[in-house]
Amino acid sequence: MKAIQIDRFVTDLANISPKNVPSPKPQSPKALHIEITHAAITHVDLLYVQGLHQNNKRHVQPPFILGTEFSGIVTSAPPTSSLTPGTRVFGGGLGSFAEEICVDEAHVRRVPAQWTNAEACAVGASGAVSYGALVGVAQLKTGETVLVLGASGGLGVMAVQIAKALGARVVAVVGDAEKGEMVRGIGADAVVDYHDEGWEDKVRSFTLGKRGVEVVYDAIGAVESGLRSLKYRGRLVIVGFAARGGNMENVRANRILLKSAMVHGYRFGEDGRHDPQRTKDVWDGFMNLVDSGKIQPVIYKEEYRGLEAVPEALEDAKNHKAWGRAILRIDENAEKELQQHRAKL
Ligand SMILES: NC(=O)c1ccc[n+]([C@@H]2O[C@H](COP(=O)([O-])OP(=O)(O)OC[C@H]3O[C@@H](n4cnc5c(N)ncnc54)[C@H](OP(=O)(O)O)[C@@H]3O)[C@@H](O)[C@H]2O)c1
């Protein structure tokens, strides 16, 4: 099969290209074999290819196949699985920039009937990550105000919609007017541009008595700014560091004490390894919102066709061009053929 295999970390994204590698083999009795139709371009991929992610210190070392989120069609499954061959699925798994992947059943979900594979891929595992952070960790409630840092990104667009579905008010922080318009379109009540000096004051101006937001969802690594925007005794959940280029922020601990703030990290994959049931509950909670029609996939407008487009797509992500999820179309024909076949039955 063709795949983007990383034999050594790269600094110049133009140095990556697809090559022929052996097809993956199931590594456990619960593994599915899946033909990939679409893969998402995420911030994690951008870090993995350069060796800048914390996982590159141990778990993700060359050689490995790049890509972490995908959608596709099951081609073989264990006899006990409800995801029989022909089922459309989406989810997460290292090795998504490839024509085939093997992952355990727990890492994927059925594509909802109302979504194409491209749409499901745009949601990927990001919806579950944001749901776990906002509901499981920050315990966001109806009527509260949440600040979403990194609102225009793949995780952020999910966080905005989940917060609205919970009945919260959303202040979204983005990098330009086009992204501002996009997040308003998916429900953000107020938008702030992070290029504006003192943007944290602007965030507070949207809250009662300028006291600050009850919850901060931080996907960019701006904890001190988050604390400045937070109400006394507020909750801040750290989800990612998209603004830090691999260099972590040194947070002055007194800022946490002065606000009596609760600061909590959330690492979705690791959480699932510690407590698979908790992650299953997170997925179920998120899929309930999907089934009630409260979540819409947000696909970036550029088209990226085939594994050959990976360098360009990663470059666009690096240059802050993309918003929502940029989707790589690996084999759209497979999805179309399946739908035509079903229509004939
Ligand atoms: N905790 C977990 O389990 C988990 C799971 C998956 C991913 N993550 C992490 O979550 C983070 C977000 O991932 P993603 O896939 O949503 O990334 P993404 O789609 O690439 O989005 C990145 C977001 O960060 C914003 N951003 C980048 N630089 C910024 C800056 N200097 N100041 C303010 N905002 C900035 C971008 O806004 P502009 O484009 O406007 O600059 C964009 O909204 C990453 O760090 C990723 O590693 C965590």
pLDDT tens digits for 164-222? Answer: 999 999 999 999 999 999 999 999 999 999 999 999 999 999 999 999 999 999 999 99
The pick from 42, 50, 55, 315 for probing ligand 1's pocket by mutation, whose C-beta has the most ligand atoms within 8 angstroms, reads 42
CA 197 distance to own-chain centroid: 28
**Is the pLDDT reported for residue 67 higher than 80?**
yes
Q: Which atom of ligand 1 sits closest to the CA of residue 267? A: 3
Distance 270 CA to ligand 1 centre (A): 19
Q: Could you give the CA distance from residue 323 to residue 155 in angstroms, rounded to a whole number? A: 10
The pick from 68, 186, 239, 264 for probing ligand 1's pocket by mutation, whose C-beta has the most ligand atoms within 8 angstroms, reads 239
What H or E segment, with its residue span, contains residue 256? helix 253-258
10 Å CB burial of residue 342 (0-12, 13-18, 19+) is: exposed
The pick from 44, 147, 160 for probing ligand 1's pocket by mutation, whose C-beta has the most ligand atoms within 8 angstroms, reads 44
Q: Could you give the CA distance from residue 66 to residue 71 in angstroms, rounded to a whole number? A: 15
Q: Which two tokens stand for residue 111?
A: 């594509």
Note the pLDDT tens digit of each residue in 147-170: 999 999 999 999 999 999 999 999
What residues does each domain of the chain span? 2-115+297-344, 127-269
Q: Could you give the CA distance from residue 225 to residue 194 in angstroms, rounded to a whole number? A: 10
Q: Which atom of ligand 1 sits closest to the CA of residue 325? A: 19
Note the pLDDT tens digit of each residue in 294-311: 999 999 999 999 999 999
Distance 220 CA to ligand 1 centre (A): 5
Strands 213-218 and 262-265: unpaired
Distance 288 CA to ligand 1 centre (A): 25
**Is the pLDDT reported for residue 97 higher than 90?**
yes
**Is the pLDDT reported for residue 130 higher than 90?**
yes
CA 158 distance to own-chain centroid: 8
How high does pLDDT run on average in the chain?
A: 95
- Ligand 1: residues with CB < 6 A are 42-44, 129, 150, 152-156, 174-175, 179, 194, 219-220, 239-243, 266-269, 317, 320
Mean pLDDT, residues 48-75 taken together: 94
Mean pLDDT, residues 75-101 taken together: 95
The 3-state secondary structure of 134-191, one letter per residue: HHHHCCCCCCCEEEEECCCCHHHHHHHHHHHHCCCEEEEEECCHHHHHHHHHCCCCEE
- Contact by Cβ (8 Å): 327, 301: no
Distance 150 CA to ligand 1 centre (A): 5
What H or E segment, with its residue span, contains residue 288? helix 276-291
What amino acid occupies position 149? L
pLDDT at 278: 95
Mean pLDDT, residues 112-116 taken together: 94
**Is the pLDDT reported for residue 340 higher than 90?**
no
Q: Which two tokens stand for residue 109?
A: 């979900």
pLDDT at 344: 72
Mean pLDDT, residues 249-257 taken together: 96
Mean pLDDT, residues 109-113 taken together: 94
**Is the pLDDT reported for residue 333 higher than 90?**
no
Judged by DSSP in three states, 39 sits in strand
**Is the pLDDT reported for residue 276 higher than 80?**
yes
Distance 317 CA to ligand 1 centre (A): 10
Q: Could you give the CA distance from residue 89 to residue 69 in angstroms, rounded to a whole number? A: 11
Taking CA atoms only, the protein residue closest to ligand 1 atom 28 is: 243
Model confidence band, residue 345 (pLDDT cutoffs 50, 70, 90): low
Percent of the chain whose pLDDT exceeds 70: 99
The pick from 41, 42, 43 for probing ligand 1's pocket by mutation, whose C-beta has the most ligand atoms within 8 angstroms, reads 43
Architecture of domain 127-269: 3-Layer(aba) Sandwich (3.40)
Distance 301 CA to ligand 1 centre (A): 18
Distance 268 CA to ligand 1 centre (A): 15
**Is the pLDDT reported for residue 337 higher than 80?**
no
Fold for domain 2-115+297-344? Quinone Oxidoreductase; Chain A, domain 1 (3.90.180)
